Amino acid sequence: MADIVAGSDRTEAQSELRSLTVISIAHWYSHYVILVLPMLFPFLKERLGVGFVELGFALTVFAVVSGLTQAPLGYVVDRFGARRLLTLGVCLGGAAFVLLGMNLSYPWLIASAALLGLANSVYHPSDYALLAANIDGKRIGRAFSIHTFSGFLGGAVAPAIVALLVAMVGGAGALMASGAIGFLVALLIVAFPIPEASAATASANGADADAGSSGVLTPAILMLAVFFMLLGLSNSGISTFGVVSLMTGYGLLFSTANIALTAYLGASAVGVLAGGFLADRTHRHGDVAAACFAANVVIIVLIALLTPHPALLIAMMTLAGFLGGVIAPSRDMLVRKAAPPGAAGRAFGIVSTGFNMSGIISPLLFGWIMDQSMPRGVFWLAACFMALTVLLALVTERRRPATEAA
């Protein structure tokens, strides 16, 4: 993070570093939250006396609520302030876990999943609006990469933390402790205040807030929403069904398939950090995304076509994960450039809905492929989505100069 603050005024640098740290911690918690319920499925199945279909329905409720509310809450973020909504969202997520821990029943599980979905819809519009408003443009790419990396880290440590909590205080205690973590994060946001980001503050700083409120649904923003959906479909297909595909289609042992997926996900996190430096050193972010995903298309198609030696397969998965991570900051920069003044929350809320759509579609689509006994189809379909992402990234890059000149 030291590089983030290099060369800036000391007071401004401290404000930027404080903002980035607090927002990244909140993003860490948002990804931790997503995995708490799945990690507790064995406990919930036994205590609630339900099957995995009923438990899976809770995750569907989470995804649907988050998808339906993310874009509208982007408007709320820009109207009432991103920091206020972020604080409320973190508290709501924490309260959902505490309430479920105190009232272990299936109706409460569904209600808590709905509350968690609503809380989840706050993070992206709030976080990105705050980052766009508080980080200097020369360092925003690296700030985006650190923010994204913190989310990856939250997901990576969630299984270990939940397992430790269950061992210490049991399943219900783990739920309430996870909720308490949320309240601690909210307290951190209050104790270390971040300069607010909203249409009102943008107007005070000379931006045209009215333009932001009326023109956020631009072709560029809608195109980026599709871009995010395609990204989500390709990545979630591999991360969700990669292990079972490698086992059934390539004859890999469970341990080897897990190593391959772990390498893919771990390299993605490293790629995100590397991508931040790249994003700050170029203005052609669409070309960066297209180049990385074009290389990924080749790698994933080779995996689908061939049966590489396990060591080579792991290396190929590692490279694919790294390249997929590199594009994340450039992806965020594309949205930042496309967002009208004072409308960063709405813009990121709309485009992030694409991720929610992929979360609803992907399990059904890739699950159907596996049910048809086509394990290599997971990689073929992921490659198809990546190829479409390349085309869309190029179109977005070519449209941008014309839009800026208008």
Classify residue 50 by burial, with Cβ atoms within 10 Å: 0-12, 13-18, 19+. middle
Q: Do residues 362 and 229 make contact, with C-beta atoms less than 8 angstroms apart?
A: no
pLDDT per residue, tens digit, the chain (406 aa), is 555 555 546 677 788 888 899 999 999 999 899 889 888 988 998 999 988 778 888 888 898 898 889 888 888 888 888 899 999 999 999 999 999 999 999 999 999 999 999 999 999 889 988 988 888 878 888 888 899 899 888 887 888 889 899 999 999 999 999 999 999 999 999 998 788 865 544 444 444 444 444 467 788 888 889 999 999 898 888 887 888 889 989 999 988 888 888 888 888 888 888 888 888 887 888 888 889 989 999 999 999 999 999 999 999 999 999 999 898 888 888 888 888 877 777 888 888 888 878 877 887 788 888 888 899 999 999 999 999 999 888 887 666 544 444 3
Whole-angstrom distance, CA of residue 303 vs CA of residue 297: 10
Domains 2-197 and 209-400 equal at CATH topology level: yes
Whole-angstrom distance, CA of residue 27 vs CA of residue 130: 12
pTM attached to this predicted model: 0.76
Whole-angstrom distance, CA of residue 246 vs CA of residue 238: 10
CB crowding 100-133: b at 16 or more within 10 Å, else e: bbeeeebebbbbbbbbbbbbbbbbbbbbbbbbbb
Whole-angstrom distance, CA of residue 102 vs CA of residue 148: 32
Place of tokens 């404000």: 15
The predicted pLDDT at position 47 comes to: 93
Q: Do residues 335 and 347 make contact, with C-beta atoms less than 8 angstroms apart?
A: yes
Place of tokens 């219900």: 172
Q: Domain spanning 209-400: which superfamily?
A: MFS general substrate transporter like domains (1.20.1250.20)
Fold of the 2-197 domain: Growth Hormone; Chain: A; (1.20.1250)
Place of tokens 């994340």: 328
Whole-angstrom distance, CA of residue 327 vs CA of residue 324: 6
Residue 337 parent element (H or E):
helix 310-338
Indicate left, alpha or beta for 280 from its phi (over 0: left) and psi (-120 to 50: alpha): alpha
Q: Do residues 209 and 337 make contact, with C-beta atoms less than 8 angstroms apart?
A: no
Whole-angstrom distance, CA of residue 234 vs CA of residue 331: 15
| Cα of 114 vs its chain's centroid, Å | 18
Question: Which among 283, 282, 268, 286 has a CA at the least distance from the CA of 324?
Answer: 268
The predicted pLDDT at position 35 comes to: 84
Domain ranges, ordered by start, for the chain: 2-197, 209-400
The predicted pLDDT at position 365 comes to: 86
The predicted pLDDT at position 75 comes to: 84
Q: Do residues 219 and 338 make contact, with C-beta atoms less than 8 angstroms apart?
A: no
The predicted pLDDT at position 397 comes to: 65
Q: What's the token pair of residue 399?
A: 């449209």
List, in order, residues 6 or more apart from 56 with CB less than 8 Å away.
none
